[in-house]
Amino acid sequence: MASLKAIESKEVLKGLVDFEPEEGLAAVAVFDDYVAAGEAGLAILAMGNAYWIILQDGRYVICVVENRYTAVSAELDAIAALEARRVGGALFEYQEFDFGWLSFALYAGVLIACFVWQESAGIVSLGQADSVAMVQGAQWWRAVTALTLHADVVHLASNLIAGMGFAFFVCRFFGAGPGWLLILLSGIAGNVLNAVVYYPVEHYSIGASTAVFGALGLLTGIGLWAAALDPYHRLSLPRWLIPVFGGLTLLGLLGVGDGTVDVAAHISGFVCGMVFGLLGACVQRWVFVLQHWSIACAALSLGLLALAWYARVGA
């Protein structure tokens, strides 16, 4: 609901030229847009009072009968005070950033290029996540390289589509460069966690889906922080459960399949992303500074991928 600001009739006259309400009416509020005026009107109707909206000099003046002026004005003032407390309280406030079309093109380009490369060079065994090699052999670069490999075209296409969908909202919250970097870090951390969980059992996995579900986890972490800051339901269990339940529902619908699906990797990516999202939401205002370094964040993401493959191929 838009903020309501009740004002005195004389203030309406002061701001509007040649405004004279009809006989028996008094101006109780003025708004710059029709939607806000309509919402104020609904509040007046809820009191059982009639109202009139008069367009004057491009603004919407709400009038009521003179003998109801005091009661209606007091009600609108009370609503305005309540709205002011909500805006000025601990509600979750955030800045939206440009999601960056170029970053999505780079994401698709990198995954498609790596898929073409793996088909021609047979590099799957070199870059796949391997629990034993990562934990026992300290080949941690596999946590990065595995994100760029896919089993087939369908696997690739699903991660491209789902990844772009979740990344859109992540990038709107963190910005294109920092957003994609957080998604990549969530995927890397997810692969590391997955390897640690499976070790010493041999386990192999490939695909960007760990990062895709890391993006889902980032959104869930943001939702957790938003729920925690609601001053009217602070630390209320149902409010905490809403974003978690939503994220787990999507994880269950999209991240669990037949025996070829690495469910543990999806869960690991989701959990790591949720932690990063919660921490990132805490300092989202600071992310504004990172927008000046958006290109550097994107370069860091690409650099991590290139460095990991260099370490793997050169090993």
Domains belonging to the chain, first-starting first, are 9-88 (3.30.70.1530), 101-313 (1.20.1540.10)
- pLDDT at 17 > cutoff 70: no
- Interval 149-164 mean pLDDT: 89
Check residue 234 and give its pLDDT: 47
User: Of 304, 315, 299, 294, which is closest to residue 100 (Cα–Cα)?
Assistant: 294
Torsion of CA 196, 201, 206, 209, to 10 degrees: -50
- Interval 37-52 mean pLDDT: 85
Per-residue model confidence as pLDDT tens digits over 62-120:
889 988 888 888 888 877 776 665 444 455 666 778 888 899 999 999 999 999 999 88
CA–CA dist 105, 133 (Å, integer) = 32
Instruction: Give pTM, 2 decimals.
Output: 0.68
CA–CA dist 253, 268 (Å, integer) = 16
Structure tokens at 147: 């994100």
Per-residue model confidence as pLDDT tens digits over 220-274:
898 888 877 765 544 444 454 455 555 555 555 554 555 567 888 888 999 999 9
User: Of 207, 195, 226, 118, which is closest to residue 162 (Cα–Cα)?
Assistant: 207
Structure tokens at 275: 């932690």
- The packing angle between helices 176-198 and 101-121, to 10°, is 40
Please answer whether residues 228 and 180 qualify as being in contact, where contact means their C-beta atoms are separated by less than 8 angstroms.
Answer: no
- Enter the DSSP assignment of 48: T
**How many Cβ atoms from other residues are within 10 Å of residue 157's Cβ?**
13
- Residues 53, 56, 58: CA angle, nearest 5 degrees: 105
